[in-house]
Chains A and B, each alone.
Chain A
Amino acid sequence: MAKIIIPTPLRKFTNNEAKLEIAGSNIEEAIINLTKQFPELKTNILDDSGSIRQFVKIYLGDEDINTLDKGHTPINDSSVISIIPAIAGGKE
């Protein structure tokens, strides 16, 4: 199963798990399986039509999936998927 790295702001929806093993043959399946396992994650990653939200990036290794085959990008047991959310802190 592919590994998926959960960023700090979203860990409250994954029982504080930072890394998870997720089944699926491509990115879309992995994300759907992830949000099935942790339903509260869904609104933070996907919009109502099921597309990746504009303030979140999904990476496979060091590549943005938008530059690959988006949701259809195939994955395997050695894949590392990253969810990168917009964060704004700095001055506070």
Chain B
Amino acid sequence: METTIAREQDLSKAELERYSRHLILPEFNIAGQRKLKNARVLVVGAGGLGSPLLLYLAAAGVGKIGILDFDVVDESNLQRQVLFTVADVGKPKVEAAKARLEALNPHVKYVAYKTKLESGNALDIIKDYDIVADGTDNFPTRYLINDACVLLGKPNVYAAIYRYEGQVSVFNNLRQDGTRGPNYRDLFPSPPPPGLVPSCAEGGVIGVLPGIVGSLQANEVIKVISGVGEPLDGRLFLIDAFSFETRTLKLQKNPEQVVVEELINYEEFCGLNLIEELEEVKEITVKALAEALENNSNIQLIDVRESFEVEIASIGGDHIPLASIVEQVAKINADRDVIIYCRVGERSAKAIRELEQKFGFENLYNLKGGLRAWSEEVDTSMAIY
């Protein structure tokens, strides 16, 4: 990779000793290590993928690492985000990550961005880096990173995961003939509409998977920087950790793909602006429900979550999973108030909209904030998941 003379720095004695296993590695050797030292990598998302990415890139001696994330560490992150410890819960991720990485390798310069990557700041942030590693969790940011990298001419090392399945590729890679390899839009020209593909928070993820996939991603970053080996340019790697099957598929530039000329509104592009236009449903707060239950009000309570979720936490009522709500409509009362609940209130709202549209119910209320709100405001002994 080309680096400017002004940034060119050589390795100190301490660094030569620290990286000795790279230095004696044929093909890689001191030339590869020098390239790492002079490289600047931006890691977007300090979470499941970001954890192994940041740990390995820092350990390997990448000269400057940008860490971008707006979130704080949550207890439920620790199942897979091995960058963080119990002591970090509640702290901004970028701060906890920076402290952890400084302890791991003080020879690296770390820059923390406690912000959301947006069309307004993306070009300004990314322009100072040689490579971007995409470890985000949503389509708008993935298309934004892709387009910004295309506009600025930066390689984008991509990975995404869902439950037991992972995807890895190197997009917009500079080839020897001066052309750029395919990018995310060559793979998927546009994103699925909201609600069609469930998010990780909805779908769950096996904790080791981001470790496996993020490590592969880190390896590709190192290959692109050092020029050693064959990067995953023009190929898409797939892993199914459930069946332990892997595939590497060919990826080509799509000649019909529209050329990226500027950054756009990615929330709109991904249809997220439409969500607010969904029909409002009647709501009840968790406190009002707690009172109603205490007064033995004549209400029906319905839980639309999956059976395995009921085992984690429940406030009772009839259990009718969302997928079978229409089939089991006979169980839903029409002559008294019916409160429908799920984990956070999204699936229950969906159930209400469907029941109202198909059967004309007028007595359905959504439990606002779902069980999560219940565990925060009514019964703090109940597990939040």
**A residues whose Cβ falls under 8 Å from a Cβ of B:** 7-9, 12, 18, 43-44, 53-57, 59, 62-64, 66-67, 82, 84-92
Contact = CB atoms under 8 A, between A and B. Distances in A.
Interface of B: 45-50, 69, 71, 134-139, 142, 159-165, 167, 187-192, 196-201, 203, 205, 210, 214, 236, 238, 240, 242-243, 247-252, 254, 323
B249 A87 contact: no
Main secondary structure of the interface of A (DSSP, over half): mixed
A87 B165 contact: yes
Contacts, number: 123
Scoring A59, A63, A82, A90 by chain B CB atoms within 10 A of each residue's CB, the highest score goes to A90
Contacts of B71: 91
Given A8-B165, A64-B249, A64-B250, A90 B139 contact: no
A55 B69 contact: no
B197 A85 contact: yes
A55 B191 contact: yes
Contacts of B192: 44, 53, 55, 85-86
B212 to A, nearest CB: 12
A92 B137 CA distance: 6
Given A62-B248, A91-B45, A86 B191 contact: yes
B161 A90 contact: yes
B254 A84 contact: no
A56 B190 CA distance: 9
A90 B249 contact: no
A55 B188 contact: yes
Nearest to B47: A91
B252 A67 contact: yes
Given A89-B199, A91-B47, A91-B137, A8 B249 contact: no
Contacts of A82: 238, 247, 249
A39 to B, nearest CB: 14
13 contacts: A8-B163, A12-B323, A55-B190, A57-B187, A57-B188, A66-B254, A86-B187, A87-B197, A90-B45, A90-B48, A90-B134, A91-B48, A92-B47
A91 B249 contact: no
B165 A90 contact: no
The list of the 4 closest CB pairs from A to B, nearest first, reads A89-B200, A91-B47, A91-B45, A91-B137
A63 to B, nearest CB: 6
